[in-house]
Amino acid sequence: MSDSPSHHNQRKGFTVRPARTTDVRSIIEMAGPLVEKRLLVPKEAVAYYESIQEFLVAVDDDGTLIGFGALHVMWEDLGEVRTLATDGSWRGRGVGSALLRGLLERARSLGVQRVFCLTFEVEFFTRHGFSVMEEQSAVDPEVYAELLRSPDEGVAEFLDLARVKPNTLGNTRMILHFTD
């Protein structure tokens, strides 16, 4: 196969696959600046390892990490897409969409019917079927009480708890309902 740099640049492809432990260092490196800009929630390295099965990654033809995203299950019918990002130089080329489609596919196969996300990327998520969430309409009081027991920051954000409000300022709460 001809693999000159110019040829390579013309047809740069990417693959989405389940994350492996060896992706974590690159994920943390790529997430760093986004955490600093408060686009992603800060997380300890150990938290990335512990949640590795939640993650999909996108890699380029050389195997370099160019994107990642996770699906976190919260309840029988409820999940969250979190920590979704595409490397700056790859934005607008379908990587984020491919990751999100994969995560939504996972949600379906796990039995999750509604997927939450908290984001500044309202247009992107709207294009994928999400809509802006109405206040507290998503869970009944019993489930709310159960979710309160979770130590997970993302769950606290979903519940819109006061203690996480400083982190979520300016973000939009969005939700997708699978209808079929």
Ligand X SMILES: CC(C)(COP(=O)(O)OP(=O)(O)OC[C@H]1O[C@@H](n2cnc3c(N)ncnc32)[C@H](O)[C@@H]1OP(=O)(O)O)[C@@H](O)C(=O)NCCC(=O)NCCS
Task: State the residues that interact with ligand X by CB under 6 A.
Answer: 34, 39, 82, 84-86, 91-97, 117, 119-121, 123-124, 127
Can you tell me whether residue 99 is helix, strand or coil?
helix
Q: Which residue, judged by CB position, is nearest to ligand X in the bound state? A: 96
Give least dist CB 97 to ligand X, A.
3
Judged by CB, which is closer to ligand X: 18, or 88? 88
Per DSSP, helices labelled H in the chain are 5-10, 24-36, 45-50, 95-110, 122-127, 141-147, 153-159, 165-168
Give least dist CB 99 to ligand X, A.
7
Judged by CB, which is closer to ligand X: 39, or 73? 39
Give least dist CB 126 to ligand X, A.
7
Give least dist CB 49 to ligand X, A.
20
Judged by CB, which is closer to ligand X: 39, or 159? 39
Cβ pair 131, 174 in contact under 8 A: yes
Per DSSP, helices labelled H in 37-121 are 45-50, 95-110
Across the beta sheet with 114-119, what order do the strands follow? 14-18, 55-60, 65-75, 78-86, 114-119, 172-177, 131-132
Judged by CB, which is closer to ligand X: 18, or 94? 94
